[in-house]
Amino acid sequence: MSARIDAHFVAAGKYHDIDFARLEVLKLLAEHPQIRTTVGCDYAATDRIAACRFLVSYTCDLMPSAEETAAIRSWLEGGGKWLALHGTNSILVFTEGGQVDTPNDRADVMEILGTQFKAHPPIGPFKVEVVNRDHELTRGIDDFEVVDELYLSNTTAEIDILMQTRFAGEATGFTAGQWTETVVPVVYTRPIGQGMVSYNALGHCRGHYDLPGMVDFYPNPEKCAWNYGVYYELLRRGIAWAMREGD
């Protein structure tokens, strides 16, 4: 008989089909009947997080407060695990000229996560290279091509890159718009005390109604990496990693 494992899932934010991502991740968590998951639309439930073995987040432009960040860091240092997905590391501000800026005003959060989102080129295909083939998150997975938002980021702390891609070119619409040849982390881990963050930057999705105030009806829904079996395999492995005590 397996012992109960408590988890908390933060699923909220802008410009994405959060309903779809929330449901898909919850279905994967439900493959393990011993996992008991609560769901939040922000990081306010720090007492609940403190009682959990792991935290999952699928967000965009949603930051914990300074007090919530300190509580999460303390929990991580004590052995918690954070499976951070896609836009968890994003802060987005529209300039008067209509570009998207990504201000560096939450160093406390980005230092925990290990990266900060800065821009992405238009959705398109790119190759994901497995650079650590001995880790439980990647073992037995070959390099693959995926159509997704390629999340370009600044590294904010020491990370262990498990999968990466490369990019040079233009990220249209962002203040950080021009990129020389850059190694882009796709899946990585970051130790925090006795705990650990695992980040998977894949997984963009957008439905018809996810740009309120901008477009009333978005004509071409996007599922991106959610169309690929390898992405679901990575999510399943991320959950298995988070369930296990220790690094």
SS (H, E, C) 140-201: CCCCEEEEECCCEEEECCCCEEEEEEEEEEECCCECCCEEEEEEEEEEEEEEECCEEEEEEC
Model pTM score: 0.98
Residue 165: the pLDDT is: 98
The residues facing 148 across adjacent strands are 124
Contact 242, 56 (CB under 8 A): yes
pLDDT means per 10 residues in the chain (247 residues)?
95 98 98 98 98 98 98 98 98 95 98 98 98 98 98 98 98 97 97 98 98 96 98 98 88
Residue 245: the pLDDT is: 86
Contact 26, 7 (CB under 8 A): no
Residue 2: the pLDDT is: 87
List Cβ<8 Å contacts ≥24 apart for 179-184: 179/119, 179/152, 182/152, 184/150, 184/151, 184/152, 184/153
Options 3.40.50.200, 3.40.50.20, 3.10.20.340, 3.40.50.880; which CATH number does 5-243 get? 3.40.50.880
User: Measuring CA to CA, how many Å separate 63 from each of 33, 143, 184?
Assistant: 30, 32, 22
Residue 1: the pLDDT is: 74
Residue 2: name the closest of 47, 26, 36, 28 by CA.
36
